[in-house]
Structure 1
Amino acid sequence: MTIGQDAADRLTRKGRETRRRIVEGAAQEIRERGAAGATLDDIRARTATSKSQIFHYFPGGKEELLLAVAAREADRVLEDQEPHLSDLRTWAAWQDWRDAVLRRYEQQGINCPLGVLLTELGRTTPAAQQLTGQLISTWQAALREGIRAMQKTGQIDHRLDADRTAAALVAAVQGGVTILTATGSTTHLEAALDTTLALLRASAPDVR
């Protein structure tokens, strides 16, 4: 993810470390109190930074800081799927990816920090839409590359549209996550993962 990264890259190493500490501290505060309940004073106290430091790194105030935290949470969505997401070249790797996704959301439960942050920012605002778009695009691209790698070795039918299939996988996972946040149950997420992977396997039934 690259939201806010350009500004961070222009900082000194110490500046980057301070900015990262503020973002991580704000993320923890939001997990505990929610976006609305986490005040700048709370974040300042947790991160041992002054108000002037917070506004130095986030001149737009809380909204800009929330966007930086949302970008970090989006990164975590993908990081928690590694190293499997970047190396989907065998069915064992796909199974490990499936297990990593399920484990991540089992641990998260009904509380989705990224969803809370995007709601607070306004899901239809350009910044929130860009962030969501980048997350989905990066996720879909990794799955697409995995499908293409499997197609090259004959483990997935080469006639499948890799990009549309990857899009369907992301949609299936996100649908299961939406139900999880509403019900607290991972049943639908697990079913979505298992069914989509079974369909991929069935596209080349002669390959073991």
Structure 2
Amino acid sequence: MSSGAIVYVVDDDLGVRKALSFLLVSAGLNVRLYESATAFLREVADPGRCCIVTDVRMPGIDGLEFIRRLNERGLNVPVIVMTGHADIPLAVEAMKAGAIDFLEKPFREDRFLEVVRFALVCDEKSVRRSQELLRTQARLQSLTQRERQVLDCLVAGKANKVIAHELNISIRTVEIHRSNVMAKMEARSLSELIRMALFIEATVGN
């Protein structure tokens, strides 16, 4: 878990904000407090590595609408919603909208910290995945049109002989293109090359 990660606590109750801040700081985590979703959205353009803990019911923008606003801005960060027993259906809706978990009040301190740490780990993995995707996409864009055709054929499980026939080139030319693709994509094996291609396809589509 990144030591620079931040836990944003968004709650209109000052007492709750102070209590959660004390707990999080005591656990060695960085904390920032906001009295409303409106204040957070106004002041935070790039939250960085983080998770957000928010009450599901707040004046103005509630927790569900808060998550929707974050999604609209492309801020794909882990959100934990806090809820009273009567608000569990709303918390479930928040999870459908993208919240990673919800905590029913009153909750134990250890349970709260467990959920927060899990959210921060998920965010760090998401950041690494995004960075990996960008690197892989850049490599993919360095391929020539013919090299991309060869790659697509390899991902489809076609042998060099079949690729040569379909692209109307020699088997030796296929081997050269294949070698170039491996080098440009920085793949150490055919299986790794295929995993890269499938990773991009699964993440962003064709």
* TM-score (normalised: structure 2): 0.28
Q: Per residue, is there more strand in 1 or in 2?
A: 2
Q: Per residue, is there more helix in 1 or in 2?
A: 1
Of structures 1 and 2, the one scoring higher in RCO (CA 8 A, sep 6+) is 1
